[in-house]
Structure 1
Amino acid sequence: MSQKKAQLIETARLLFAKHGFHAVGIDTIIKESGVAKKTLYNHFKSKEDLILAVLVYYDLAFRNFFVEQVEKQSGTPKEKLLSIFDVAEAWFNMDDFYGCFFVGASSEFPDMDTPIRDVCKNFKRLMGKYIEQLAVEAKIVNAEGVAAHLVLLLEGAITMAQINGNSFSAKQAKEAAKIIVGA
């Protein structure tokens, strides 16, 4: 990926995360990224194409970050499974935490069968599969069902952290997760 394209994607990601997709116009992205309008349109046919590129980029970047942080945790597979909430807490405390990027995109683009919604659904599906994989490694009976419960806890913690502006929900979710996984 060219430096200019990467710069556009990262600038747009930060602006969309903080202000929303509809609230941020192309002119703002151009101004903040320092690239010419022609450069933007050489890389992206439309704002929707830019949004899709940002979502696809962030999907991979965030999942890699999340998995890497969980995998760094030591201990038993069950402890690693519970560490998803420690990683979430660290994420909630980052300066650029504005809630779930994909929930934000889904709320601004409510039509179900669109490329934007497809990227959002795929992100959630892959995160759920990763949590299920951790449950299988922890030899949890009904790993799929337990993972579904943990995903709901994580999603709730993300929402509460966004609304309340603090990370306490991650600790609460971890306590509930301990009961679910029998830790």
Structure 2
Amino acid sequence: MNIDEKLISTAEALFDCHGFNATGMDRLAQAAGMSSRTLYKHAGSKNELIAAVLMTRGQRFLLRLELDSVEALFDALARWMSEEGARGCLFLRAQGEIGSAVPEVAEAVTAYKARFSETVRRILVRQLGAGPDEELVEQVVILFEGATAAASYRGVAVVATAGRAATLLVERARA
């Protein structure tokens, strides 16, 4: 379904600020300046809208990650948080609120996380000059996700700490 950009942007802002369950379709329609009927015509269902928001946000974030090092990866996260806010990963928040009971949302979360892991793998290949072992990819992903979560209550400075830990892991892999 092709959902217009204004609706996606409005829904993303509301979901990010208020959560998925607390943001009803009436609130979305009002914020988007359309009737509930028009909203359903464009979005299909709330679950389809959530999946579309996640897909759009994921694409927007991954575009920033054509990078050559894990240091740059964590710097990109800190810049994102400075611009977008440090409220934790919207994908993990969707998973936490909605769980795997809604297939559209579960698929969007799983697909994004797979693409993100592949992005980390490509960054490590560029940095190391060879394919990293899966353990290193997983370690960097976990540090990244942990920094994303911790920044929501400890501040964006934790991203640099996680980045330094990831850099140490890469240096150890290089040795």
The normalised TM-score by structure 1 is 0.84
Listed as ranges, the matches of 1:1-183 within 5 Å are: 5-64=4-63, 66-67=64-65, 70-71=66-67, 77=68, 80-111=69-100, 114-138=103-127, 139=129, 142-164=132-154, 166-182=155-171
Aligned residues of 1:140 and 1:181 also touching (Cα < 8 A): no
Shift of 1:40: 0.9
CA distance in 2: counterparts of 1:115 and 1:35, whole angstroms: 24
CA distance in 2: counterparts of 1:22 and 1:151, whole angstroms: 27
Which stretch of the first structure deviates more once superposed, 12-21 or 103-112? 103-112
Letter in 1 for 2:121: E
Shift of 1:37: 2.0
Aligned residues of 1:136 and 1:143 also touching (Cα < 8 A): no
Aligned residues of 1:52 and 1:115 also touching (Cα < 8 A): yes
Tell me the matched-pair count: 171
Structure 1 vs Structure 2 CA RMSD: 2.1
CA deviation map 1:52-97 (0-9, x unaligned): 2212222212211x22xx53xxxxx4xx232111111112222544
CA distance in 2: counterparts of 1:9 and 1:93, whole angstroms: 21
CA distance in 2: counterparts of 1:130 and 1:95, whole angstroms: 21
Structure 1 stretches lacking a partner, 5+ long: 72-76
Shift of 1:98: 2.0
The normalised TM-score by structure 2 is 0.88
Which stretch of the first structure deviates more once superposed, 20-29 or 31-40? 31-40
Name segments (4+ residues, structure 1) moved above 3 Å. Answer: 140-143
Structure 2 stretches lacking a partner, 5+ long: none
Q: Tell me what 1:74 maps to.
A: none
